[in-house]
Amino acid sequence: MKSPLIVRPGKRIRLSRVSASDDAGIANKTDAQGRLATDLERLRELQQLLYADGRFALLVVIQAMDTGGKDGTIRHVMSGLNPAGCVVTSFKAPSSEELSHDYLWRIHKAVPARGMIGVFNRSHYEDVLIVRVHKMVPREVWSKRYRQINEMERTLDENGVKILKFYLHISKSEQARRLKARIDDKAKNWKFSAADLDERKLWSKYQAAFEDAINECSTKWAPWHVVPANKKWARDCIVARAMVEALEELPLRWPKSKIDLSKVVIR
Rounded to whole angstroms, the Cα distance separating 130 from 135 reads 8
The second-level CATH assignment, the architecture, of 5-251 is 3-Layer(aba) Sandwich (3.40)
Q: What angle do CA 120, 43, 24 make, to 5 degrees?
A: 80
Q: For residue 213, is pLDDT > 80?
A: yes
Q: For residue 2, is pLDDT > 80?
A: no
Nearest alpha-carbon partner for 218 in 61, 2, 88: 61
Q: For residue 81, is pLDDT > 80?
A: yes
Paired with 121 in beta bridges are 62, 90
Q: For residue 1, is pLDDT > 80?
A: no
Alpha carbon 132 to its chain's center = 20
CA distance from start to end of the chain: 51
Rounded to whole angstroms, the Cα distance separating 232 from 243 reads 17
pLDDT, residue 261, reads 85
What are the C-alpha distances in Å from 170 to residues 19, 62, 84, 150, 258?
9, 13, 32, 25, 50
HEC per residue, 244-260: HHHHHHCCCCCCCCCCC
Cite the beta strand spans of 50-91 per DSSP E. 57-64, 86-90
pTM of the model: 0.95
Q: Are 205 and 172 in contact (CB under 8 A)?
A: no
**Band of pLDDT at residue 263, cut at 50, 70 and 90:** confident
